[in-house]
A and B are shown apart, each in its own frame.
Chain A
Amino acid sequence: MDHLITEALRDLLTGQCTPAVVRAIESEAAASAGASPTAAALWQQIEDSGFADLLLSEDAGGAGLALRDAFAVWDLLGQHAMPLPLAETMLARAWLAAAGVALPQGAIALAPQLAAADGGLRASGVRGARVAPWVLGQHGADVLLLPVAAAQASASIFVLDADLHWPASAVVSATRVPAPASLLVAQAGLVSALLAGSLLTVFESTLNFANERQQFGRPIGKFQAIQHELAVMAEHVSAARMAAQIACEADGVVADPLKVAVGKARSSEAAVEVAALAHSIHGAIGFTTEFDLQLHTRRLHLWRQTAGSESYWQLQAGQALLAADGMALDVIRQITDSSAPVA
């Protein structure tokens, strides 16, 4: 992974994807779907910087990154509570470009399970669909590029998401290509990396808070009970970050389903534990809208609930383990022995 790319992205996010920007995009999207000037401005910055094309081949104008390189990028997006589906767009563009499809302008949200409805297709809880003009959805063996504007949209649980229903006419005219892999697996993999980043930020801000917040005449981080809670948080964060690296461990742009199962299951487990501990340590202030913690802990729960929770992926991993014969160690080695060259 090119250090320059991550440093440039870090600079961009630190400057342009601040908590104030995340808040503005959330409130503008809540007021009016698809009409957030702050989202448009942030997207333009991203588009101009080329970050949405990193997974495209160099011939196609990208940086030719593999998923294992994308981990560092997605991790940073998670660290900054990225409110636009940039990670999703990176993946969608790579898939579409590989199929020879002309790439559309703007962000692309993902809908891994399009369902037939009233002659058309529907998808619920599409992450980021209120701030993206496009959805890449999977239906059977194909993926379809569908315009959000052509869908009947209704609010979903999370403010940036939408439930969408495309009439038959929109489906017929959509770009359709064979799916190179399961979109659910792909989305679960990138969401693991987003979780890894958000977990790190939540941990670091909780650690800082514990060092600063005075109670009973000293910082609360001096109390053994708080120290042990932070140690447990650190354990979950370290394991989840390693699991997410495993999820992204692939040469090209197609993730390994078993590795993704490990990454998504473990990072989702960590999300629940770490969010709870962070709020416990922060006390009531951390529970308020005005405090930044909620920008991340809402995302921890959201991303945990995206593309399959820990139970779903534990079932997938369990089936793989039971289908293999011999020692559990061999399945573990298959998962953890990265094929990347050792530096």
Chain B
Amino acid sequence: MTILNGLALTRIPPEGEALRAEVRAFLQEAVKDIPAHIRAKSWSGYDPAFSRKLGEKGWLGMTFPKAYGGHEQGAFARYVVVEELLNFGAPVGSHWIAERQSAPLILKYGTEAQKQRYVPPVARGESFFCIGMSEPNAGSDLASVRTRAVPNDGGWLLNGQKIWTTNAEHCQYMIALVRTSGEPADRQKGLSQLIVDLSLPGVTVRPIEDMSGDRHFCEVFFDNVQLAPDALVGAEGQGWEQVTAELAYERSGPERLFSSVVLLDQWLAFVRSEAAPRADSIKLAGQILTRLAPLRALSVAVQEKLVQGQSPIVEAALVKDQGTVLEQFIPAAIADDLMAREGEGEAVPHALLLTLNYLTLVSPCYTLRGGTRSILRGMIARGLGLR
């Protein structure tokens, strides 16, 4: 049993920790005037000026080759920067997908020309990508996508629709998973990944408002969009394998643990300010800490495996499912704690309630993005040999 037995307590190596103090000092200044309920949006917070500042600091594309604008630093150095960004609730939404997924995908599967064209602006914090995977009626059943790109004299003619594409409204590009051959019944066969310039004629982006009032995900329509031949990333028909690898890397990072941490810190500050903290509040603080700390250790252990070149897909799913469950537990439990003060005549600060309300309304997405809970549990079951 290597899956449950193979994750040893380790630590972020000193070269990974080296930047933490500098990043933290920068962030303390950068977010000091942003209220907590706005910081709580973090990875859906769109702020291109902030992304450019991070690019100038060299904190984007940290692991990319220098030839493509990167800094050739270790994965743990990036881990520390991301962890600090999320903990401060910095608005990382504009560059988030491009830096975390799209540029690494292009570096792995793209042509030399694609790497030179697309990657350096991502590292500078100037070029933003979204991911076109889901479609209406496809949802988690990604292999059933119907959006189709047909080869023609000009390259590819694209028709169809994507949905739940985060920040598409603000992005220059989408990497779309589309059918380039065969039929939806062929499932994983015949899928490819294409880079779509969202400014092209025939592309329509329509934001969808979520129940918190935010407009971070979008519908994107393709009506006879003509793409150049070099829109294809990787090999025709290999889109499924490429997407599977891509998803594995985004499931165990700090972003699966700390989505509710701005609220946690704000609530802790409130409880610390009380004359006599309630025993229930102390216990809840401990409950969260004693669940979160082992998960952070697991996340670091999975990162260590990635650094060693292993592919801990199931381990990452174990961390993601637990992390997102905890991320959803935090606002629910904090609401319970705060409202247990009813009748005690003690006012809960309005600013704290604003953050709580935002996370309460947005937290359903934690167990949807990057694979629903049911999909992840199915992946774990497969890793255990049950299917």
Q: List chain A positions with a Cβ less than 8 A from chain B.
A: 200, 203-204, 207, 210-211, 221-222, 224, 226-228, 230-232, 234-235, 237-243, 245-246, 249, 261-262, 265-266, 269, 310-311, 313-322, 325, 327-329, 331-332, 335-340, 342-343
CB-based nearest A residue for B3: A234
- Majority secondary structure, B binding face: helix
Please measure, in the bound complex, the distance between the C-alpha atom of A162 and the C-alpha atom of B300, giving whole angstroms: 42
A315 and B283 contacting across the interface, CB-CB below 8 Å: yes
**C-beta contact mask, B373-387 vs A, less than 8 Å → 1, else 0?**
010111011001111
What are 29 A-B contacts with C-beta separation under 8 Å? A204-B1, A221-B386, A227-B386, A227-B387, A234-B384, A235-B321, A235-B322, A239-B291, A242-B9, A242-B294, A243-B290, A246-B297, A262-B290, A265-B287, A266-B291, A313-B290, A314-B283, A315-B282, A317-B289, A321-B268, A321-B286, A322-B285, A327-B87, A327-B261, A328-B268, A328-B289, A328-B292, A335-B297, A336-B293
Please measure, in the bound complex, the distance between the C-alpha atom of A249 and the C-alpha atom of B10, giving whole angstroms: 10
Known A-B contacts A230-B381, A238-B298; A314 and B4 likewise in contact (beta carbons under 8 Å): no
Please measure, in the bound complex, the distance between the C-alpha atom of A238 and the C-alpha atom of B322, giving whole angstroms: 10
* B7 contacts chain A at the CB level, 8 A cutoff: yes
* B248 contacts chain A at the CB level, 8 A cutoff: no
A336 and B4 contacting across the interface, CB-CB below 8 Å: no
CB-based nearest B residue for A239: B294
How far does the Cβ of A198 sit from chain B's closest Cβ, in whole Å?
13
Known A-B contacts A234-B3, A238-B4, A328-B265; A322 and B10 likewise in contact (beta carbons under 8 Å): no
A313 and B286 contacting across the interface, CB-CB below 8 Å: yes
Tier of interface size on chain B:
35 or more
B297 and A314 contacting across the interface, CB-CB below 8 Å: no
Please measure, in the bound complex, the distance between the C-alpha atom of A319 and the C-alpha atom of B290, giving whole angstroms: 12
Q: List the B side residues contacting A269 at CB < 8 Å.
A: 290-291
Top 4 closest pairs, chain A to chain B, by CB: A318-B286, A314-B286, A317-B286, A227-B381
Please measure, in the bound complex, the distance between the C-alpha atom of A310 and the C-alpha atom of B288, giving whole angstroms: 12
CB-based nearest A residue for B285: A318
* B62 contacts chain A at the CB level, 8 A cutoff: no
Stretch at the interface among B221-229, B271-279, B341-349: B271-279
Q: List the A side residues contacting B285 at CB < 8 Å.
A: 317-318, 321-322
Known A-B contacts A239-B295, A342-B10; A319 and B286 likewise in contact (beta carbons under 8 Å): yes
CB < 8 Å: which of A210, A310, A332 contacts B296?
A: A332
B279 and A321 contacting across the interface, CB-CB below 8 Å: no
Please measure, in the bound complex, the distance between the C-alpha atom of A230 and the C-alpha atom of B386, giving whole angstroms: 9
A316 and B286 contacting across the interface, CB-CB below 8 Å: yes
Known A-B contacts A228-B374, A329-B83; A314 and B290 likewise in contact (beta carbons under 8 Å): yes
Known A-B contacts A200-B5, A232-B377, A338-B9; A262 and B293 likewise in contact (beta carbons under 8 Å): yes
How far does the Cβ of A162 sit from chain B's closest Cβ, in whole Å?
31
Known A-B contacts A321-B285, A321-B286, A336-B293; A224 and B378 likewise in contact (beta carbons under 8 Å): yes
Please measure, in the bound complex, the distance between the C-alpha atom of A23 and the C-alpha atom of B4, giving whole angstroms: 28
How far does the Cβ of B368 sit from chain A's closest Cβ, in whole Å?
17
- Majority secondary structure, A binding face: helix
B10 and A239 contacting across the interface, CB-CB below 8 Å: no
Q: List the A side residues contacting B381 at CB < 8 Å.
A: 227-228, 230-231
Q: List the A side residues contacting B386 at CB < 8 Å.
A: 207, 210-211, 221-222, 226-227, 230
A318 and B282 contacting across the interface, CB-CB below 8 Å: yes
Q: List the B side residues contacting A318 at CB < 8 Å.
A: 281-287, 289
Q: List the B side residues contacting A316 at CB < 8 Å.
A: 286
CB < 8 Å: which of A203, A222, A241, A327 contacts B387?
A: A222
CB-based nearest A residue for B24: A327
- Residue among A310, A328, A343 with most chain B CB within 10 A: A328
Q: List the B side residues contacting A200 at CB < 8 Å.
A: 1, 4-5
Q: List the A side residues contacting B286 at CB < 8 Å.
A: 261, 265, 313-321
Q: B residues 65-94 with Cβ under 8 Å of A?
A: 83-84, 87
Q: List the B side residues contacting A261 at CB < 8 Å.
A: 286, 290
Q: Apart from A232-B377, A336-B294, what are 9 other A-B pairs with CB-CB below 8 Å?
A: A230-B380, A242-B295, A313-B290, A314-B287, A320-B289, A325-B272, A328-B261, A328-B292, A336-B9
